[in-house]
Amino acid sequence: MQFDLTVLLPHLGVLRDGAILTAQACALALAGSVVTGALVAMASTSASKPLRRAADIYVDIFRNVPFIVQMFFFYFGLPVLGLYIDAFTTGVVALSIAGGAFTSNVIRSGILAIDPGVIEAAQVFGLHKRTVFLKIVMPIALRTSIRPLGAVLVNLILTSSILSTITLNELTGSAKIVASDTFRPFEVYFVLLVVYAVLTWSVSLAIGALHRRLNRDIVEVVS
Amino acid sequence: MIKIEGVRKVFNGVTVLDHIDLKVEKGEVVSILGSSGSGKSTLLRCINGLEKLDGGSISVDGFDVARPKELAEARKRSATVFQLFNLYPHMTAVQNLMLAPVEVLKVPKAKAEADARALLASVGLSERADAYPAQLSGGQRQRVGIARALAVNPSYLLLDEVTSALDPEMTAEVLRILARLADEGTTMVFVTHEVEFARTISSRVVFLEKGRLLVDLPTTEFFADDGGLANPRVRQFLSNMSKG
């Protein structure tokens, strides 16, 4: 067997475009799933029973159905109802919704770990509910949940490879094309492996840095 | 004026506050004494709206704490210092002080920060203004807690066993500041176990027992043999406290 990466040189453009598409989809989906997760976590810790119930149902549905099935439903199922959404948007939305189910649980546990006295203090000083959530609850919850959140986000990047099944030529999709054009699957998928590892590793590094920044008052203890 | 009329509070069938009547006028320092479980802290939590009343009413300067719209006004007039400090852990001391003035009272940030630093200096913490709560000692945290309460210029300062979590040296640190505030005419409702301190700073002492208000007397009368001490339960409580 020979290992010759130079055979990929003419195809670098395709792979690069795929990598950029993956990075864009993931960046949007990371933001989308954190925002979705925060909103669902807020619902699941609210005083209103119907809101808590709705949050539970959401999490149960999207955690217990394979991601590929959810995505097929959005991409191939919804057009039957007259709803046509392009592959990129479908992919980002599906990742955000599915990711949100996982991030919401992580953020929820961060919220439940907050000393209730701290929230009471904010309340008696007359802070508006929304201000309490944005300035007290979320920042403190993120301090404790940023690391497990990072694990969910890395998983999201890995899951994004499934977007190739709805005609989106992101990194994995482009790699498949290059592999069948060159008949050199070993080199192609070796590169793919390295690129995904670099992508997820940089997210892990960023999460670590964010964790240290959010916990800078106790950083010696937790880093 | 804080006006408490016929207040009742029940937790799981246990009556914690039983028809409490109490008035606190501006300029008064009212200490609330009583053994653990007598309802002292619950009474304070009713005044700042953290507990819902099961009967009676409480108003702060005429604003009824049971009505959500009026509660916001009532809360602007009082500030609470907590037993376990309850500082915002992700903010520095100065940020802890600035939050309510900026968000609730709409004080411009630069002014709020200058005020906050001046207040921290007044409790001896100018050097530690940019430290986070986790980097402060218990006594320092409680001094931040007091400064945070003063930052909103409250008409009434509510203090909930503010020295119970502190060692004697840190307790002295905090009590010195409270004595100064009392001298300056700050209105305080002071739930405490520090009987001797209550005696020196209060204008009035209230004694709670099993959710009932047993005694409400000016301080000198409360500690007089023919005043508060005539009540056997008060006498027993004070002698237990002095033994401890």
Instruction: Kindly report, residue by residue over B107-152, the tens digit of the pLDDT.
Output: 999 999 999 999 999 999 999 999 999 999 999 999 999 999 999 9
Contact B93, B117 (CB under 8 A): no
Residues of chain B with C-beta less than 8 angstroms from the C-beta of A134 = none
Q: Which fold has domain B2-88+137-243?
A: Rossmann fold (3.40.50)
User: Nearest CA of chain B to the CA of A39: how many Å?
Assistant: 21
- Whether residues B89 and A125 touch (CB distance < 8 A) is answered with no
**pTM of the predicted structure, to 2 decimals:** 0.87
Residue A223 has pLDDT above 60, yes or no: no
Compute the average pLDDT of residues B9-37.
Answer: 92
Mark yes or no for CB contact B100/A120 under 8 Å: no
Q: Does the distance separating the beta carbons of A143 and B75 come in below 8 Å?
A: no
Task: For residue B233, count other CB atoms closer than 10 A to its CB.
Answer: 14
The CATH fold assigned to A5-222 is: MetI-like fold (1.10.3720)
pLDDT, averaged across chain A: 92
Alpha helices in chain A (DSSP H): 12-44, 49-63, 67-72, 87-112, 116-124, 129-131, 138-159, 171-182, 185-214, 219-222
Confidence band of B51 (pLDDT split at 50, 70, 90):
very high
φ, ψ dihedrals at B160, nearest 5°: -105, 95
- Within chain B, residue ranges assigned H as helices are 40-47, 68-77, 93-103, 109-122, 138-150, 168-183, 195-201, 219-222, 232-243
Q: How far is B70 from chain A (nearest CA, A)?
A: 11
Residue A220 has pLDDT above 80, yes or no: no
Q: Locate the domains of chain B by residue range.
A: 2-88+137-243
**Closest approach of chain A CAs to the CA of B232, in angstroms?**
36
Q: Is A123 an interface residue toward B (CB < 8 Å)?
A: yes
Q: For chains A and B, what is the number of CB pairs under 8 angstroms? A: 68
